A and B are shown apart, each in its own frame.
Chain A
Amino acid sequence: MTGLFQNLAGLTWQMIVMWAIGGAMIWLAICKGMEPTLLLPMGFGCILCNLPDSGATEVLETLFRAGIANELFPLLLFIGIGAMIDFGPLLADPKLLLFGAAAQFGIFFTLSMASLLGFELRDAASIAIIGAADGPTSIFVANALGSRYTAAIIVAAYSYMALVPIVQPACIRLVTTKRERMIRMTYTPGQISRTTRILFPIVVTIIAGLVAPQSVALVGFLMFGNLLRECGVLRALSECAQNVLANLISLLLGLTVAVRMQAESFLVPETLMILALGLVAFVFDTFGGVFFAKLINLFAKKKINPMVGAAGISAFPMSSRVIAQMAKDEDPYNFILMQAAGANVAGQVASVVAGGLILSMIAPLV
């Protein structure tokens, strides 16, 4: 009978704290609907890996080596994400891509802040990529750079993505006037041929491959998914990528990442700093997009609602929905969803390019 309970001796207070963290993630997923596809498996996995002599750790470690250590899961997930994205609004107004670039400011700003706080370059760059507002990119970059803080980075990335409806409106209100938020924009859908839609993913892959070769895996898998969607002859594969593949990988990804959430490596002061720096990344991404739109408004005849700039943060499609709703709250007849969606998908492309550029710049130095 005593044998049944001898494992209790291995229980530490840190494990119990991790159960609470896992429980909080499950609660956020179920009761608050925050990124449930990732937070629920991660929360459960967190509890699973923080039991004394947990027999699950070895299995999850095997999955980690098979799917995350070699960057396979995030890339496969990108096929699904690419298949979900409609680049139509962006192709109709390609200058929106500039907002995608502007709203990556938080990534590079956070790299500087993390360096200032004494993080090693590989860790600083991995933390900075939380600002990509894109889980797979964060996982890919943190893993490729061999960061010690992969789990904390992933938790921060997905938590802040879920918190976009809270973080972005507060930041936008801080740096815009009501008058600016009420700027109306007319949407004139341009003629986009099917040929353009098909060639776009191929051309972007070639450009990314030539300019930022380290980004080509991320961009290429994203664009392959989009090509499945746009080619028009692979509907079943496109639907499979959007639903079955994306769901299956999300499920495995969340559970597998939890193996890096063991108390001894997760409950360190650096985790709190990473969570804080993740917030800095999201805030300065938003500022970057808004101020870039304001800069353009200094010269442009047709004014741009600065909130559209904020949608250049990736976090697709939540950010564009939040921005469109904010515009409607200020003026019920102001419809900027299409422009915000265009900037939002631009942010998706820009964030993976930024991830590739970070790798190109930092990987040779670490």
Chain B
Amino acid sequence: MQFDIPAFVRSLRFLAEGWLSVFLVMAVIIAAVRLLNRLTRGRDEKA
């Protein structure tokens, strides 16, 4: 078995970019949920 160092180095970009992107998408969803909660607070039933 041979280690593919160039492929590994290339993949680090996917690690950084991919993981950060998941955080960003989650952050956008958090903002959306907070906005929804604020706009509809106390409107109908409890969780």
CB proximity to B under 8 Å, residues A341-359: 346, 349-350, 353-354, 357-358
CB atoms of B10 and A199 under 8 A apart:
no
A316 within 8 A of B: no
Whether the Cβ atoms of A193 and B15 lie closer than 8 Å is no
Residues of A within 8 A of B8 (CB): 112, 115-116
**Interface of chain A: mostly helix, strand, loop or mixed:** helix
Chain B contact residue count (CB 8 A cutoff): 38
On chain A, the residues within 8 Å of B12 by CB distance are 112
The smallest C-beta distance from B19 to any residue of chain A, in angstroms, reads 5
Name the B residues within 8 Å of A21 (CB-CB).
none
Given A88-B47, A116-B7, A361-B14, A94:B30 Cβ within 8 A: yes
Q: B-side binding surface: helix, strand, loop or mixed?
A: helix
Residues 1-47 of B at the A interface (beta carbon under 8 Å):
1-5, 7-8, 10-12, 14-15, 17-19, 21-30, 32-34, 36-37, 40-47
B30 x A203 contact (CB < 8 A) = no
| Nearest-Cβ distance from residue A73 to partner chain B, whole angstroms | 25
- Contact A196/B18 with A92-B47, A112-B11, A118-B1 known, Cβ cut-off 8 Å: no
Q: Does A109 contact B (CB under 8 A)?
A: yes
Residues of B within 8 A of A193 (CB): 37, 40-45
Interface residues of A (CB under 8 A from B): 88-92, 94-95, 97-98, 100-102, 104-105, 107-109, 111-112, 115-118, 121, 124-125, 189-196, 199-200, 203-204, 207-208, 211-212, 346, 349-350, 353-354, 357-358, 361-362
Q: Using a CB–CB distance below 8 Å, which chain B residues touch chain A?
A: 1-5, 7-8, 10-12, 14-15, 17-19, 21-30, 32-34, 36-37, 40-47
